Amino acid sequence: MYNTFTNFWCNGGIERGLQNRRKEEQDGKVLRDYIKDYTIDSCFTFDEGYETAIKKNKGNWIIVENYSSFERMKTGHKKWCKLCEKEQPTAVYSIQTDEVEKF
């Protein structure tokens, strides 16, 4: 079955995605903070738009929030940084799996 994901893979999407990510990092459009054992990363993704994901230590990324704009993403990123700093969560709600996931 041909879909958006297949189209992405077949047309060099991974390489283009990595190139775009590097450029966005250089332009300050990717927000990444390391707080205690957490990595909080906010960026624009080709499939879901602006989003924030969190991982603890070397665990899996958990996507926790989507946004309609870069400005909202910056605000949300700060919120998640504060949460990780103060509460050190052991689990968060994943908007990708629609479940609470443990770190």
pLDDT digits (tens, 9 = 90+) for 33-90: 999 999 999 999 878 899 999 999 999 999 999 999 999 999 999 999 999 999 999 9
pLDDT score recorded for residue 46: 79
Between the CA of residue 12 and those of 3, 9, 59, 99, what are the distances in Å? Answer: 15, 6, 27, 32
Residue 102 pLDDT more than 70? yes
Give the pLDDT band (50/70/90) at residue 29.
Answer: confident
Cβ atoms 61, 32 nearer than 8 A: no
- What is the pTM (predicted TM-score) of this model? 0.77
Section 6-33 average pLDDT = 66
pLDDT score recorded for residue 2: 52
